[in-house]
Amino acid sequence: MKGILIGAVMAIGVGGCNNSTSIKTASNHFPSDSLATPATTALYQNLLALQGKKILFGHQDDLAYGVGWQYEKGRSDVKEVTGEYPALYGWELGNLELGAAKSLDSVPFEAIQSYIKEGYDSGAVITISWHLNNPLNGKSAWDTTHGSVASIIPGGAKHELYKTYLDKLAIFLSELKGSDGGQIPVLFRPFHEQTGNWFWWCQNTCTPQEYTTLWQFTVNYLRNNKQLHHILYVYNTSDFENKAQFMERYPGDDYVDVISFDAYQNEKMITDSSNEFVQKVDKCLGMLKEMAHEKNKLAAFAETGFEAIPKANWWTNDLLPLLKKHQPSYVLVWRNAGLMKESGKMHYYAPYPKQVSAPDFVNFYKEETIVFQLKAKQANLYKAN
C-alpha cells in the first residue's frame, strides 16, 4: 500500500524518504464517513499525503463561463492564461432546492453535472457550495432573519420543508458519475462563512448548538437516509480571531473532513506600509494549519481573491508567500462573472488573457508547489495507494 502511494505522490515530484512519515500517517486516517466509497477514501488520503507539500489551485465555475464568454466547450480563463486547467473546480447549487433548472448564477444544473464529470474524468477535484434560500421565509441566502436555523432543525416548523431541499440535493449528488461508472467524490461545503453576519445560518442568527444540530442532521440525512458515501464535508468560516472562535460551531470530527475559511483582498486593505489581507490570512492560515494537524484533517483556503485583480503582482507577492508558508491542501478563487449588470462592476477573480495580473499568474502557475490539472492527474487522486 505504502509503496504505491509513494509512487503516486512522487509522480508529482514530492516523493523521497522525508515523506514516509506523512504518507504512512495519511493511509492510517479515514474520512468522517466510515462507509466512504473507495474513491472518496483514496481522495482524502491522497490529499492528506500531499498536504504540506503541494497546493491544488481551484477556480469557481471555471468551465462554464469567463470574462466575455459563456458556455463555449473547452474554454477556461485559467487555461487561456496558463495553458492548463485548474486542479480543483468549484460549483454552486443555490436554487437547486427550489426545483429550478438553473443555479442562482444562471448555470443550468444539467450543465454543472456534466462539467463535474469532465473535471473528475480529467483527474481534478470537485467542491460544491450551496447558497440555498431560507426555508423559513423563501428569501435568499443573504436573508438574516433570526431563528431561521432553529426553524429547520428537528422539531422546527420548517423541518419537513428543509428535508425536501435535501432530497433534491441528494438526487443531484447521486447522479454524479464519472466515465468509469463510479460515483464522483465531492467536497461539500454547506453553511459556509458562519462567523460572518450575512447569511441566514451565520453566527448572528443562531446559537452554536443550533448550528451544530443543523450540520449533524444534514450529514446524517445524506449519509444514512440517502446512503450517499461519496462526500467529504468541508467546515468553513470567514476570517477569524482565534481558534476558539473558529471551533465554536465545529460539529465534531465525525462530521467534518476539511477545515477551511474564506477571505478576500480589497483595495482598502493595502496602504503604503501595510497589507491587511496578508496579515489577516497569515494569522488564520497559521491557526488553521495547527488545528488541521491536531485533528488529522485537511486544511483549505476555500475562497479567496481580489475582485478584478487590480494589483499586477498579487499572485506571487500577496497570495503565494502565504500559501508557501502555511501549505493548505488547496486554494480556490471565486468566479469570473465579468461585468455585473446590477452593479456595473467587473466581478472576476482569475485573470483572462491580457488582464493586468496575467503575466504574474503565469509565474504563480509555474511554481513547483502549486498544482494545476496535469499534476493532479498524475497524482491519481482517486486511486487507493
Nearer to ligand BMA, 104 or 258 (CB): 104
| Closest separation in Å from C-beta 131 to ligand BMA | 5
How buried is 341 (Cβ within 10 angstroms: 0-12 exposed, 13-18 middle, 19+ buried)? exposed
Q: Which is nearer to ligand BMA, 104 or 299 (CB)?
A: 104
Specify the residue, 104 or 379, whose C-beta has the smaller distance to ligand BMA: 104
Q: How far is CA 112 from CA 97, 295, 352, 358, in A?
A: 15, 33, 21, 26
CB of 334 to ligand BMA, least distance (A): 6
CB of 90 to ligand BMA, least distance (A): 9
Q: How far is the CB of 104 from ligand BMA (least distance, A)?
A: 5
- Of 345 and 366, CB closest to ligand BMA: 345
Biggest CA pair distance of the chain: 57
Contact pick of 131, 158, 159, 163 for ligand BMA (by CB under 6 A): 131
Contact pick of 84, 105, 118, 367 for ligand BMA (by CB under 6 A):
105
Q: For ligand BMA, which is the closer residue by CB, 295 or 347?
A: 347
Q: What are phi and psi of 300, to 5 degrees?
A: -140, 150
Sites for ligand BMA among residues 14-33 (CB under 6 A): none
Looking at beta carbons, which residue is closest to ligand BMA?
Answer: 92
Least separation in angstroms between CB 4 and ligand BMA: 38
Residue 143 found at the interface with ligand BMA (CB under 6 A): no
CA dist list (Å): 244 to 263, 329, 359: 18, 22, 40
Q: Is 104 in the site for ligand BMA (CB under 6 A)?
A: yes
* Cα dihedral 166→124→254→27 (10° resolution): 150
Q: Quick check: 28 and 357 in contact, CB under 8 A?
A: no
Q: Provide the minimum distance between the beta carbon of 35 and ligand BMA in the complex, in angstroms, as a whole number.
A: 31
Give CA–CA dist 274/144, Å, rounded.
33
Q: State which residue, 104 or 124, has the beta carbon closest to ligand BMA.
A: 104
Cβ–Cβ under 8 Å, residues 256 and 250: yes
| Residue 22: burial class (beta carbons within 10 Å; 0-12, 13-18, 19+) | middle
CB-based contacts of 212, cutoff 8 Å, min separation 6: 249, 250, 251, 252
Pairing, β 186-189 against β 370-371: unpaired
Least separation in angstroms between residue 194's CB and ligand BMA is: 15
For ligand BMA, which is the closer residue by CB, 334 or 372? Answer: 334
Residue closer to ligand BMA by CB (options 208, 310) is 310
Q: Would you state the cell numbers that stand for residue 234, as one nine-digit string?
A: 468541508
* 142 touches 198 (CB < 8 A): yes
Closer to ligand BMA by Cβ: residue 92 or 97: 92
Strand bridging mode 258-265 / 338-339:
unpaired
For residues 92 and 318, which CB has a smaller minimum distance to ligand BMA in the complex?
92
Distance CA 163, CA 293 (A): 34
In contact, 27 and 385? CB cutoff 8 Å: yes
User: Using CB atoms within 10 A of its CB, is residue 106 exposed (0-12), middle (13-18) or buried (19+)?
Assistant: exposed
Looking at residues 284 to 343 of the shown chain, list those that interact with ligand BMA (rule: CB under 6 A). Answer: 334-335
Task: For the CB of residue 260, give the shortest distance to ligand BMA in the complex, in Å.
Answer: 16
Cβ at position 181, least distance to ligand BMA in Å: 30
Task: Tell me, residue by residue from 54 to 93, as one string, x for binding to ligand BMA by CB under 6 A and - for no binding.
Answer: --------------------------------------x-
Q: How far is the CB of 107 from ligand BMA (least distance, A)?
A: 9
Residues in contact with ligand BMA by the rule CB under 6 A: 92, 94, 104-105, 131, 334-335
